[in-house]
Amino acid sequence: MFQKILIANRGEIAARVIRTCKEMNIQTVAVYSEADQTAPFVSLADESYLIGKPRVNESYLNIEKILKVAKEAGAEAIHPGYGLLSENAEFAKKTEEAGLIFIGPDAKVISKMGDKIAARAEMKTAGVPIIPGTEEAVASPEDAMACANDFGYPVMLKAAAGGGGIGMQAVYNDEELEKAFEGNSKRAQTFFGDGKMFIEKLIENPRHIEIQVLADKHGNAVYLFERECSIQRRHQKVVEEAPSPVLSDETRGLMGESALKAVKTLGYSNAGTIEFLVDDKENYYFLEMNTRLQVEHPVTEEITGVDLVEQQLKVAAGEALTISQEDLEIQGHAIEVRIYAEDPNTFYPSPGQITKLVLPEGEGIRNEVAVTGNSKVTPFYDPMIAKLIAYGANRDEAIDRLTKAVHAYEIEGIKSNLTMLKRVITHDKFKAGETKTTFIQDYYLPTLTNH
């Protein structure tokens, strides 16, 4: 096992990785920007190094600087967390070339699955159901319209690279598609350095359900059941739970086996997630693969008792999985809410000085936090500042515990999405498990005009 690793990330995920490393007696090296000098993760690590100015391209995306620090600090491996460089194939490759171990899959796999068009082709080869769509990028609005008319509106216009809902838009006719094409292509080029677009048939009112997988370098692989991630704003998740409140055991098994087919076809190792769209009849279609640890991984940990960071470290160190599919079973229910420094009415980021932070406590409550009661939230990074997870013996108990915890949560000095989360998790449709990807626009946004 490693003696020392560097964490090429920030915020709550850096703190999360450090926690498991401490339990495994692995020393940790943190890197931080000028804006994060007083962030909790910096002091939690055994060693911390300033790597640049606040903007990510001058700090957290500076591959050469990160690798230089890793070598100087004597780290043997690098954990990329999520976001930032976690799915950057060049970073994975350069890490290996520097004589260090990348705690994640092979660079070639990252590259392949990072291009959604290539990923669709791989899944088709693996026998995983895919949404009808273009096999190659569409070069112009005219090409896009021709394809859309072949498939039949509505369709989803999507960026081939990246994630987080950037460069993605549902369109219902030629006029909308023509307007959407250029803007989304430009956004994708700006954020991901790749403006390629493609078209998929729109699956209307679906659920977003993903399968967590673990695979080692010895050919062993397991799936750790599913997470329901349908409640989203701007195509980005805000509430996640495990297991799904509606998925049948039969479909769960089929989706798990499809995920394992994907893993084996790719020769994948480490933790990963296969994301699917699921319709009312439980037909499921491949959406994308995230070749990293997910933001929402805690809910899977809660219902399986498996520390996913620990498993990542063991697999990266060359160890074989000691978990078999037969060992895994769903125990209870867990729900996570993402807490953002943002205006709950507009979803715009709300940077500023936190003046008070009170975290809820109690049985089944887990906090993952990036800030303290006097932290300054800067405009340079994703506005997610914490995650709150509630576990219960069943979904009703998890909801009850979560509701009490969200109401006990206090953040002052900045705006947060706590009021939105309160409305979502107490809504009758949420309690009934009717959590489609349109939930926010159907049940939350209409309430804003009445308040």
Name which of 38-47, 96-105, 131-140, 210-219 the model is least confident about. Answer: 131-140
Domain spans of the chain, in order of start? 4-103, 132-201, 207-448
Give the whole-angstrom CA distance, residue 437 versus residue 228: 10
Residue 137 has pLDDT above 50, yes or no: yes
Tell me the range of 88-97, 141-150, 156-165 where mean pLDDT is highest.
Answer: 88-97
pLDDT attached to residue 136: 87
What average pLDDT does the segment 408-433 reach? 97
What average pLDDT does the segment 302-330 reach? 98
pLDDT attached to residue 325: 97
In CATH, the number for domain 207-448 is 3.30.470.20
H or E element that contains 12: helix 11-23
pLDDT attached to residue 450: 53
Fold observed for domain 4-103: Rossmann fold (3.40.50)
pLDDT tens-digit series, residues 318-354: 999 999 999 999 999 999 999 999 999 999 999 999 9
Mean pLDDT score across all residues of the chain: 95
User: What count of residues does the chain have?
Assistant: 451
pLDDT tens-digit series, residues 157-169: 999 887 767 888 9
- Catalytic residue, chosen from 16, 292, 338, 401, is 292
Residue 108 has pLDDT above 70, yes or no: yes
Residue 220 has pLDDT above 60, yes or no: yes
For residue 429, what are the contacts with CB-CB under 8 A and spacing of at least 6?
A: 435, 439, 443
Query: What's 320's DSSP letter?
Result: P
pLDDT tens-digit series, residues 439-450: 999 999 888 865
Q: Does residue 192 contact residue 123 with C-beta atoms inside 8 Å?
A: no
pLDDT attached to residue 442: 92
Give the whole-angstrom CA distance, residue 376 versus residue 405: 24
**Active-site residue 252, yes or no?**
no
Catalogue the long-range contacts made by 400-404 (C-beta closer than 8 Å, 24 or more residues apart): 401/362, 401/363, 401/364, 401/365, 402/335, 402/337, 404/360, 404/362
pLDDT attached to residue 80: 98
451: confidence class by pLDDT, cuts 50, 70, 90: very low
pLDDT attached to residue 191: 85
SS (H, E, C) 144-198: HHHHHHHHCCCEEEEECCCCCCCCCEEECCHHHHHHHHHHHHHHHHHHHCCCCEE
pLDDT tens-digit series, residues 13-27: 999 999 999 999 999
In CATH, the number for domain 132-201 is 3.30.1490.20
Name which of 2-11, 97-106, 129-138, 355-364 the model is least confident about. Answer: 129-138
> Residue 174's CB: how many other CB atoms inside 10 A?
16
pLDDT attached to residue 449: 65
Give the whole-angstrom CA distance, residue 15 versus residue 42: 8
CA angle 27, 28, 34 (to 5 degrees): 150
What average pLDDT does the segment 207-230 reach? 97
Residue 311 has pLDDT above 70, yes or no: yes
pLDDT tens-digit series, residues 21-73: 999 999 999 999 999 999 999 999 999 999 999 999 999 999 999 999 999 99
CA angle 347, 35, 371 (to 5 degrees): 60
What average pLDDT does the segment 395-417 reach? 98
